[in-house]
Chains A and B, each alone.
Chain A
């Protein structure tokens, strides 16, 4: 027995042996003992058992834990619900546990009492694992759903951005059409003006050479006197005057919008089509000072000078553009869509040559002639140096008077950079005078870039504004913009081409010639008709000039001598002047695209525009 017991104890579980041993202690019989039949054991006094017996044998005093342990070894509590009226034979507080192999006289059977450990656990584990997989499944489904959402969003986005760019292009096209229509209307206006003037001349008996006594000091009267021959009551029909002013202003406005949209469009394409177009360097590099284009909205937006009533009537909305040229944030955001591309090439060229300050040919067909009108010698020298660096031939004038005289004396320039505030004759007046006989692009160089200032510049026939102190970038932008017709290779057309593959000159030329005149095939013929008319009626022009120049004072006599027969377009956008013919072959295309600023711009944009939108830009 003992041996057996020893062996059995060896084989059986520790807990079971302890349990058996516990029941062998007779002194604890009152607390825990074998059951009456010897096939179970009974805890008689729960409290004492927990406090005294358990610690002795199991090193803890937790009855619940003991019961749990028993359960693990498949002991079961014996219930006496039905038998004996439900009362336990050992007393109401007694706990009786039984296991088939746990018997008082059968120690060997103890070996059969095993922890039922794994069996009951398995289902638990399965449950535990089950939850994560379900969760993962759920997450997966969610992920898939999200991905699908994302994809549909992406598709929607693509669709929308496609629509967006389509709309943009549509709008650009429409705007261009409108602009072209404006121009057509302008030409018609000019034609009407000449007809009007002619009619008045014919119906008048006044001596056309009568001394001009009373030319009003304000611009309106001046324009009137200019447009029509001699006397002050000879103003063109006021509806014509008003209309042409409106037209000129409306135009500038449209141009600006076109630019905004063009830029949007370009960005759009850059994002969508993942073009490898380098970001417009120039605009990035353009520091706060590179303004100029944003100027234009204001030119249309608010003019206070002498046309205030008109402007108020026409442009209640213009100011909502909200771009203040004085603020650098705006300045940097100014749309420079197409010029910037062109600038890249030039800038690169400029950068290359800049170190030495040696002239660099940014690719001119011929060297541009630039007139720099500036009274400040420092500015003049620096500006001249910059221009020289871009391989421009620079002539300079110290003030507006000298500039007018130079141009009036027959000097031909491709671009005039004009300071505004100068002694003797300011830049605006000078421009106004020059516009009477020449339409070379004139860029205002000034630090006065308040909107009403700029508006005044444009009203007097200036084409652009280069804010002072001007930067290389700003200057390049101006050159690019206004001398694009002189550029040998139109960089804007192939900005992504490696530099090693320049367009063959023939292509360029054909592009160009296609471009400039094609923009206005209908208007082209109109260009000449006004000049024809003005040619018919040279009478009174001299007197007319003396009115004008006399008013400006100082150099009237000289001016009269040089002034050719004039045709005055009241809007300051000279069209088809006789000078055009005088200029002859040298200026050719330059003249056409260097014409009224708006025209030139519209054309250039069209030139650089994505090919598919070109047809829209064409006037019908």
Chain B
């Protein structure tokens, strides 16, 4: 690549965040707005914005929408698998599924889901929620997972509603 490309690109380090937020304000003047930064406990905007920034066209949000809907699908499958594994008392599989959903939710910045999934991951490893102490009682671990799985389900749907609302308002 020739040097000029470099020159053209370098001098304009436009601050991304403000751009995005500015846009959101513009597009949601009518009260039906979703300001994602009002829900920091659900979604880490610094993470999620990075995905929004990757949209080729901020008007349609093809990429981020696609990512998010892909995530929904993936998360729901994983939750379903978790439920199955819970019935089968398959702790290793539950840990693995917890890890999996933890990763993708973290990538979107869905912090609540991420944290609960990490707990499941730890419980599945026969540890306590923080992963620091052993939990010798498998029944206890399964119980822990059962209740945490309920949390995850709730938190996931909470996040899903939020994101759906966001993209809805975004799209209009």
Contacts and interface: CB of A to CB of B under 8 A. Distances in A.
B38 interface: no
Given A357-B54, A468-B106, A505 B3 contact: yes
B107 A347 contact: no
Contacts of B88: none
A385 B67 CA distance: 11
A561 to B, nearest CB: 31
A447 interface: yes
Interface string A368-387: 00000001111101100110
A357 B70 contact: no
B53 A357 contact: yes
Contacts of B3: 363, 488-489, 502, 505
B5 to A, nearest CB: 5
B53 A378 contact: no
Interface stretch (B95-103, B133-141, B151-159, B161-169): B95-103
B167 to A, nearest CB: 16
Interface residues of B, number: 40
A355 B70 contact: no
B46 interface: yes
Contacts of B147: none
B14 A352 contact: yes
A356 B57 contact: yes
A357 B55 contact: yes
Contacts of A505: 3
Contacts of A164: none
Nearest to B8: A352
A351 B5 CA distance: 14
Interface in A568-617: none
Contacts of B16: 351, 354-355
Given A349-B10, A363-B1, A379 B104 contact: yes
B5 A357 contact: no
A364 interface: yes
B14 A351 contact: yes
A355 B108 CA distance: 18
Contacts of B104: 376-379
Contact of A472 (B12, B50, B57, B63): B50
Interface in B56-100: 56-58, 63, 66-67, 70-71, 74, 96, 99-100
Interface string B39-59: 000000011001101111110
Main DSSP-derived SS at the B contact region: helix
B11 interface: yes
Most chain-A CB neighbours within 10 Å: which of B6, B15, B63, B100? B6
Interface string A64-80: 00000000000000000
B50 A499 contact: no
A378 B71 contact: yes
A39 interface: no
Interface residues of A, number: 46
Contact of B13 (A347, A382, A386): A347
A358 interface: yes
B9 A352 contact: yes
A364 to B, nearest CB: 6
Given A356-B56, A379-B107, A421 B9 contact: no
A546 B63 CA distance: 44
A358 B107 contact: no
Given A356-B57, A379-B107, A351 B102 contact: no
B124 interface: no
A376 B107 contact: yes
A348 interface: yes
B9 A353 contact: yes
B107 A502 contact: no
Contact of A348 (B11, B99, B100, B103): B11
A342 to B, nearest CB: 12
A45 interface: no
A442 interface: no
A478 interface: no
A357 B56 contact: yes
A382 B105 CA distance: 12
A345 interface: yes
Contacts of A385: 54, 63
Interface string A443-473: 0000100000000000000000000111110
B54 A348 contact: no
29 contacts: A352-B10, A352-B12, A354-B54, A355-B16, A355-B58, A361-B1, A361-B6, A362-B6, A362-B9, A363-B1, A363-B5, A365-B1, A375-B100, A376-B74, A376-B103, A376-B104, A378-B71, A378-B103, A421-B96, A447-B103, A468-B107, A469-B47, A469-B106, A471-B47, A472-B53, A488-B1, A499-B6, A500-B11, A505-B3
Given A447-B102, A471-B47, 7 more contacts: A349-B10, A351-B12, A354-B16, A376-B107, A468-B106, A469-B109, A470-B107
Kindly list the 5 A-B residue pairs having the minimum CB-CB distance in the complex, ordered from nearest: A348-B13, A378-B104, A349-B9, A469-B106, A499-B10
